[in-house]
Amino acid sequence: MKTIESMPVFLLCCLLLQLSPAPLRGAASEPVDFQRARALFEKRQRGEPLSADEQAYVIRAMAAQKAAKAKQANKGEAAKTGSTLPVSDPKIVAALVPLDELTGGYKAESGGLYGDGRNTPPPAHLAAYLAESKKIQPLDAEGRPAKNGRVVLLSIGMSNTTMEYSRFKQVADADPEKSPQVVIVDGAKGARTGLAWSLDGLEFLPAGEEQRLVAELAKAGVGARKGFGDTWTGAEAKLAASGVTARQVQALWIKQAEARPSALGEFPAHARILQASLVNILNIARHHYPNLRVAYLSSRIFGGYATTPLNPEPYAYEEAFSQRWVIRDQIKGEPRLNYDPARGEVKAPIVVWGPYLWANGTTPRKSDGFAWSLDDFVTSDRTHPDTTARQKVADLLLRFLKTDAGAKSWFIKSEANAGR
C-alpha cells in the first residue's frame, strides 16, 4: 500500500482544508504510520467522515512528512554548498599569528620566517642566494648558455599547488615585465604530497627511506608501497609539452604538505615528516635538474575553514616551520642540503622563502592587509582554493618574483637584460 507521501499535493491540501482544526491528540512523539494516514485519506475520499482523532492524525502525518522533506532538502544543500562546520578548534585558530608577525613564539619556536624574529635570510645566506641567482641565465636544451635559451621555473607540489600555479602561469605569462625567456611550467600534481614525491625518487635517497616512507603513508591512510610513478615522470612530461628540457630548469617553487597531518602526530611530529619530505624532494630534484640553482618554499594557505581532516588548522599553520627548518639546516651546513661545490658534493639548490601565504582568516595581515574569506575556498571541503584564492596566490607569487632581489634578476625582462 502506498504511503501518504505518494499523494498528489493538491489532494492533500484539499484534505487539510476540509479537516477541522482539531487539537492533536495521542502520543505525538510516536512514529507516524503513513499507511494508516493513507487509509484515513481514502476513507475521507469515499465520503466517510473522520473523527477528531483521525483528523488530528492526518494533520500530524502531514507535519511529519513536511519536516522529513525539509530535513532531506537541508542535507542536500549542505552537501552541495559544503556548509558543514569547520573541523578546526576556533579557540586554537583565533590564537594563531602569521609567522612573519609572530613575536612571542609558538610552541618553543620563535617568530619570523627565518626564526629569531627575522623575515629575511641571515646576511651570509642572503649573499649566497643572490650570487646563485645571478648565475641563472638562458640555457639551450643541453644546458649550455645561449642567447635564445630558456630559464625554466617549475612548480612541485600537490593539488592546491597546481590549482594556484596554473593561474599564476596565466597571469605571469601575460605580464609585459616578465622576461620572454622565462618558461613557467606547472609540475605539481593533485593528491601527490611530500611523501608521494619522496617515494617516487627512492633511488636518489639514503638507505632506509623506503621503509619510513611506507610507514608514514600508512599512518595517513595511503597504502602505496612501490611508489606512485607519476610525480617526477609527470613533471618531465609537462616540461616536454612546454618545449623545454630538464637541463633548462633552474628555479623551483615548492609548495608541499602532507595529507591528514593529525594522523602523523601532533606538532612538531607532523611538521618534521614534511621537513624530511622537503629535503628528499630537493635531493631528487637536483638529480633530475642538474642546473637547478634556487628553490623557493611556500607553506599552505589558511585551513581554518576546512570541513575535512585533509589539512585543517593548526596543521596548515604549523607546516610553515617545516620550511623554516629546511632553510635553517642548510645554513648550518647539513650535507644533504649542500649547494656549494667548494664544500663538497652538491646535493640541493640554495633554498629561501618564497611568498608567505598564510593569514588568519578575515583578519588582515599587518604588512599588506592580506586575508582569507570563506568564499575563497571550494564548497566541497573549504580546503582547496576556489577561483579567488587561486588569484590571490598568483598575485602574491608574481609580486614576490618581481620584487625579490634575487628573483627579479632573472625573472624581470629589464633586470635580466641589464645583467647580460
Q: Is the same domain home to 201 and 331?
A: yes
On the question of a cis peptide bond just before residue 268, with omega within 30 degrees of 0, the verdict is yes
Q: Cell numbers for 21, please give them.
A: 482544526
- Number of independent structural domains in the chain: 2
Q: What would the pLDDT profile of 49-88 be if each residue is shown by its tens digit?
A: 888 888 888 888 777 776 666 555 444 434 544 447 999 9
Are residues 315 and 262 in contact, defined by beta-carbon separation less than 8 angstroms? yes
- Tell me if 371 sits within 8 A of 389, measured CB to CB: no
Q: Same domain, yes or no, for 186 and 49?
A: no
Same domain, 54 and 127: no
List Cβ neighbours of 74 (8 Å cut-off, separation of 6 or more): none
Same domain as 258, residue 364? yes
Q: Report pTM.
A: 0.81
Q: Domain end: 24, 51, 81, which one?
A: 81
Q: What is the pLDDT of residues 281-305, one digit of tens each?
A: 999 999 999 999 999 999 999 999 9
- The reply to whether 38 and 100 lie within a common domain is no
pLDDT score at 81: 43
In this structure, are 164 and 68 located in the same domain?
Answer: no
> DSSP string covering 147-192, please?
TT-BEEEEEEESHHHHHHHHHHHHHHHT-TTB-TTEEEEE---TT-
Residue 140, classed as helix, strand or coil, is: coil
- The CATH number assigned to the domain holding 158 equals 3.40.50.1110
For the segment 376-392, the average pLDDT, to the nearest whole number, is: 97
Q: Are residues 246 and 295 in the same domain?
A: yes
Task: Judge if 45 and 138 occupy the same domain.
Answer: no
φ, ψ of residue 223 in degrees (nearest 5): -95, 15
For residue 185, pLDDT over 70 is answered with: yes
pLDDT tens column, 208-222? 999 999 999 999 888
**Same domain assignment for residues 308 and 381:** yes
Domain range spanning residue 40?
4-81
**Domain boundary pick from 25, 49, 81:** 81
Q: Which of 48, 81, 114 is the C-terminal boundary of a domain? A: 81
> Residue 84: what residue type?
T
C-alpha pair distances (Å), 8 with each of 11, 14, 44, 140: 5, 10, 15, 74
pLDDT higher than 60, residue 236: yes
